[in-house]
């Protein structure tokens, strides 16, 4: 495992911890898109079904379990435990517009036409756009809490680091996966505007505001 893959995983894990702590400590899921969290849960479940069919390493298995369990826990906190604080009036992004194209792309553009491969490819495509409901919610409300901004920054950093991981693997392992690279690039681009605002506002003590 190279340093970019490891730090990417740690950034991803940090994003999850930040989000769960934010919800639990404030007893509120205000400013958090439940629809994005549902999409991430679908991503992890469809991608990590190989938990039951193959073993790569203890680290790999542990991370897969953490991502699945934490995503399910987040959805539970938003829609059940603290549902009274969920801002469903602003979290209105039509996620079917993300799911259906991801399914179609996975059926058309994939490495192999097998159930596991189609599901894995679907998860890659869906993850690339799963953050859109969260960014839409922030844009609609006009601002994001500092802790929510930290969550988004950690999540965006994870994708950026994974792009570097793919570059590393190409040059040092002669491994190239265009599906993962293109999807990761699209996802990173979606964070670009947020990254700029995060650096210029949040790190200087100002609340992040996105243009409506």
Report if residue 45 sits inside a domain: yes
Report if residue 25 sits inside a domain: yes
Alpha-helix residue ranges (DSSP H) falling in 27-145: 34-47, 58-76, 96-108, 115-129, 132-141
pLDDT in tens, 75-133: 999 999 999 999 999 999 999 999 999 999 999 999 999 999 999 999 999 999 999 99
Using CA atoms, how far residue 109 sits from 99, 120, 142, 198, in Å, is: 15, 12, 37, 34
pLDDT reading at 195 higher than 80: no
Partners of residue 208 on adjacent β-strands: 144
What is the share, in percent, of the chain residues with pLDDT greater than 70? 89
Please give the pLDDT value at position 205: 54
Report if residue 178 sits inside a domain: yes
- Among residues 126, 136, 117, which one has the least CA distance to residue 177? 117
Report if residue 212 sits inside a domain: no
What is the share, in percent, of the chain residues with pLDDT greater than 90? 65
Cβ(154)–Cβ(15) below 8 Å = yes
pLDDT reading at 210 higher than 60: no
* pTM listed for this prediction: 0.90
pLDDT reading at 191 higher than 70: yes
* Domain span holding position 78: 3-204
Which range is most confident: 47-51, 144-148, 201-205? Answer: 47-51
pLDDT reading at 141 higher than 80: no
Report if residue 143 sits inside a domain: yes
Please give the pLDDT value at position 152: 86
pLDDT in tens, 149-165: 888 889 889 988 998 99
Provide the number of structural domains found in the chain: 1
């Amino acid at each position: 495992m190279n340093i970019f893959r490891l730090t990417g995983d740690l950034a991803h894990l940090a994003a999850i911890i930040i989000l769960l702590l934010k919800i639990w400590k404030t007893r509120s899921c205000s400013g958090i898109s439940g629809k994005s969290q549902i999409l991430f849960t679908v991503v992890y479940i469809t991608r990590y079904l190989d938990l039951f069919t193959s073993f790569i390493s203890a680290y790999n298995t542990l991370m897969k379990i953490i991502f699945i369990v934490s995503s399910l826990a987040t959805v539970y906190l938003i829609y059940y435990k603290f549902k009274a604080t969920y801002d469903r009036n602003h979290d209105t992004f039509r996620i079917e517009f993300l799911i259906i194209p991801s399914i179609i792309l996975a059926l058309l553009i994939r490495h192999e036409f097998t159930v596991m491969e189609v599901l894995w490819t679907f998860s890659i495509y869906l993850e690339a756009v799963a953050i859109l409901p969260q960014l839409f919610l922030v844009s609609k409300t006009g601002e994001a809490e500092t802790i929510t901004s930290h969550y988004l920054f950690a999540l965006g950093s994870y994708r950026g680091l994974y792009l570097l991981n793919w570059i590393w693997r190409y040059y040092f392992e002669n491994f190239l996966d265009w599906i993962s690279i293109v999807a990761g690039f699209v996802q990173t681009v979606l964070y670009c505007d947020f990254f700029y605002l995060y650096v210029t506002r949040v790190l200087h003590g100002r609340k992040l505001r996105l243009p409506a």
